[in-house]
């Protein structure tokens, strides 16, 4: 320990390098972290709300009114293709199921008559017009059956009779249940989405932008979290301003490797049209020295004091011009007082 203190004391106030081994750093409680490179200028912070986007998602709707009888899955649950999500009760679907059964029976008979009529026509017993009547009846029944069958697979849902008036709703794809009824007894309105299944990693954030900043944001701009890490790209910007919130909306599709959750919100920064790059340092790595902002950059033998120009201050980081630093640099974040004391020629106990 005494040897480490002696090495620090020989550093002068002339911004000289401070020699120190890794073992000595550990004894002095000095910790380093890598820096990050970001695009400037990053505007913000802005608040964005998370939700699953429609890319690869499926909304489920019904063509008639129904009531939720039982919920097997809740919003946020993972579902597999063919798995029952809920059961519903619907008098209209029940009537449709009876009608469908009747039509299928009639179609079977009509196809038999059409086959016989075709044979009679070929034998010259009946006219072409008479044989075509039964063929047209088959076509008409098939069209009616198709229309009713669509009620049971409307907008992606597989609906199958269960007990009496009950029908099971099955998933036609695997994913996350992004939207579902809250409880049994809830009404399902015709043509209104009551279920939504999305890809697990298909998250977007809807970011509120002040009107005066809309012109500085473009499609394709990088979106960063509060640490400066890029988490997505802007894919759309609203052309108008919401009069209620006096803000525009920018939509960003997030990278798949994120820990965000739909229904929550986060703080974001957006790169403007400027293409310069900045270095992002942890706030704890920057300190004042003789009216300058400095940090201590790790080198092969210890640390180099580096004067920095702070361009923007974030919650936990500061952005500086990249002079003297690059994306491979590491800076001291703990033990700054010890290193600063070495520059001031102070001794340590």
Q: Do 88 and 162 touch, CB atoms closer than 8 A? A: no
> What CA–CA distance (Å, rounded) separates 37 from 157?
46
pTM over 0.75: no
Contact 8, 344 (CB under 8 A): no
Query: What is the three-class DSSP state of 29?
Result: coil
Cα–Cα distance between 287 and 284 in angstroms, integer?
8
Tell me how far apart the alpha carbons of residues 253 and 231 are, in angstroms, rounded to a whole number: 9
Decide the pairing of beta strands 230-237 and 292-299.
unpaired
Residue with tokens 């249940």, as numbered in its chain? 177
Question: Which domains can be identified in the chain, with CATH numbers?
Answer: 2-37+277-343 (2.40.420.20), 42-53+202-271 (2.40.30.170), 59-198 (2.40.50.100)
Tens digit of each residue's pLDDT, the chain (349 residues): 444 444 444 444 457 888 888 888 888 899 999 998 876 666 778 899 988 877 778 888 887 888 899 999 988 888 998 899 998 888 777 777 777 788 888 989 989 988 998 888 888 888 888 888 888 999 998 888 888 777 665 544 566 666 666 888 888 888 888 888 988 889 988 888 888 888 877 788 899 988 878 877 888 888 988 777 888 899 988 878 887 878 889 999 888 777 787 778 888 988 876 556 788 899 999 999 888 899 999 999 899 999 998 887 877 888 888 888 888 999 999 999 888 888 876 544 4
Instruction: Report which secondary-structure segment, H or E, holds 164.
Output: none
Alpha-carbon distances of 135 from 102, 128, 130, 131, 138, rounded to whole Å: 19, 11, 9, 7, 5
| Cβ atoms 334, 284 nearer than 8 A | yes
Cα separation, 197 vs 180, whole angstroms: 9
Asked if 68 and 184 count as a contact pair (C-beta separation under 8 A), the reply is yes
């Amino acid at each position: 320990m005494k040897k480490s203190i002696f090495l620090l004391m020989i550093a002068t106030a002339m911004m000289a390098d401070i020699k120190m081994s890794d073992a000595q750093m550990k004894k002095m409680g000095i910790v380093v972290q890598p820096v990050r490179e970001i695009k400037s200028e990053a505007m913000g912070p802005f608040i964005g709300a998370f939700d699953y986007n429609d890319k690869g998602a499926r909304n489920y709707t019904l063509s008639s009114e129904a009531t939720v009888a039982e919920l097997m899955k809740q919003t946020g649950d993972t579902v597999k293709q063919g798995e029952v999500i809920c059961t519903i009760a619907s008098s209209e679907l029940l009537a449709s199921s009876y009608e469908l059964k009747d039509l299928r029976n009639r179609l079977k008979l009509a196809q038999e008559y059409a086959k016989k009529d075709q044979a009679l026509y070929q034998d010259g017993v009946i006219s072409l017009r008479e044989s075509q009547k039964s063929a047209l009846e088959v076509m008409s029944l098939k069209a009616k059956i198709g229309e009713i069958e669509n009620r049971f697979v409307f907008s992606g849902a597989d609906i199958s009779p269960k007990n009496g008036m009950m029908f099971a709703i099955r998933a036609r794809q695997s994913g996350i249940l992004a939207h579902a009824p809250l409880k049994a007894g809830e009404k399902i309105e015709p043509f209104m989405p009551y279920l939504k299944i999305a890809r697990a990693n298909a998250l977007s954030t809807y970011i509120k932008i002040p009107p005066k900043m809309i012109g500085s944001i473009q499609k394709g701009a990088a979106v960063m979290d509060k640490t400066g890490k890029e988490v997505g790209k802007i894919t759309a910007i609203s052309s108008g301003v919401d009069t209620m919130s006096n803000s525009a909306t920018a939509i960003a599709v997030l990278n798949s490797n994120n820990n965000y959750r739909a229904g929550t919100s986060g703080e974001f920064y957006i790169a403007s049209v400027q293409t310069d790059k900045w270095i992002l340092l942890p706030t704890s790595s920057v300190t004042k020295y003789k009216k300058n902002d400095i940090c201590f950059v790790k080198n092969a033998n210890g640390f180099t004091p580096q004067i920095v120009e702070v361009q923007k201050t974030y919650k936990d980081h500061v952005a500086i011009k990249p002079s003297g630093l690059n994306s491979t640099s590491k800076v001291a974040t703990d033990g700054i007082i010890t290193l600063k004391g070495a520059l001031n020629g102070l001794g340590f106990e």
